[in-house]
Amino acid sequence: MLQIVYISTARQALTDEMLEAILAASRRNNGRDGVTGLLLAGGRRFLQALEGPGEAVLSTYGRICTDQRHAAIVQLGCRTVEARQFGEWSMAFQPGGRAGDGDLRSAVERLIAPIDDANLRAQFEGFAALHAKAA
């Protein structure tokens, strides 16, 4: 099983409706392809992990890299993993500054609590800490 983690910047600010459309398409495609993961949004910045069958993850990441809504895509990690870190989530999502009655950091901590990999947890915790201050 392959896991890719990347960070990117949206070329323009995304409305809630745009984010919902992106998530709906991602969840549909990921569910079909056996890809799971987590997406965090902080302003125009995104941190995402994708995992699943190698070809499906590479295909998904390839689509993301050619999507004109993204710029400055930087792959933070690409590795083979023994087990999924994101369970059966076709795409869990947490927007920055919209964590309801808690803050972004608390919401992300709840989402990543089951993740075994300390480095992966640290990437999401660091992103949440940075964008919680900006929200």
User: Tokens 């689509």 — which residue?
Assistant: 63
- The mean per-residue pLDDT over the stretch 48-66 comes to 95
| E strands present in the chain | 2-10, 36-42, 45-52, 70-80, 92-95
- The reported pTM is 0.84
Residue 11 Cα to chain centre, angstroms: 17
Q: Could you tell me which of 37, 40, 46 has the C-alpha nearest to residue 3?
A: 37
Confidence of residue 25 (pLDDT cuts 50, 70, 90): confident
Confidence of residue 101 (pLDDT cuts 50, 70, 90): very low
To the nearest whole number, what is the mean pLDDT of the chain?
85
Domains of the chain: 2-134 (3.30.70.100)
Judged against a pLDDT cut of 70, whether residue 38 lies above it is answered with yes
Instruction: Choose between 89 and 52: higher pLDDT.
Output: 52
Judged against a pLDDT cut of 60, whether residue 117 lies above it is answered with yes
Judged against a pLDDT cut of 50, whether residue 99 lies above it is answered with no
> Distance between CA atoms of 97 and 103, rounded to whole angstroms?
7
